[in-house]
Chain A
């Protein structure tokens, strides 16, 4: 099977920094995606990592270590609108498998 693990829920304060971790064990690996999903809506793309290292995109950064089967999403300068679920997904050669998602609550 494909195992992709994330914490279920996290809480952080507006303006702070939060790191959401994702560990994976899959039969194949062709890249890792992070998506944001607000309740009742489809996921939207945040970032993509295929090589080890950090990818920065504005307030969002994502890190990948393929040898460790590990990724994290870093959100800086948190805003209230960042309250959402964050999904980690592994591209197993054009088949995508999602983690359970991390619900992020941003408090004033």
Chain B
């Protein structure tokens, strides 16, 4: 099946710094990727839809300036958590939709801990 790779899998940073998470579709082109956030013992919350070559579409309540999304190519989307604070600590997961099937493939997830 299609493979989506996410990096880094774990990151610890100091409060006030910015962290970038990469999401790559390894064997297919993804015009659309999705970024989710998951709090402990809760389900996935869609943060934004990342569209190649255009601005991301953010869900209600998600701060655009806080969570910067760039989808520069058909195989790479990045999420940058700017000026991170402890409340941003979470599990972030990206996914990409395989055109024609609608099936979602998920990255391995990135666990962010902000000290």
Interface residues of A (CB under 8 A from B): 30-31, 33, 40-45, 48, 50, 85, 87, 89, 91, 94-101, 103
Contact = CB atoms under 8 A, between A and B. Distances in A.
Contact of A45 (B34, B36, B93, B103): B103
B43 A96 contact: no
Interface of B: 32, 34, 36, 41-46, 49, 91, 93, 95, 97, 102-109, 111
Nearest to B105: A45
Nearest to A85: B43
Given A48-B103, A96-B104, A98-B46, A41 B32 contact: no
A42 B108 contact: yes
A45 to B, nearest CB: 6
B49 A31 contact: no
A95 B49 contact: yes
9 contacts: A30-B102, A33-B104, A42-B108, A43-B106, A48-B102, A94-B102, A96-B95, A98-B44, A99-B43
A85 B38 CA distance: 13
A8 to B, nearest CB: 10
B32 A94 contact: yes
B46 A95 contact: yes
Nearest to A48: B103
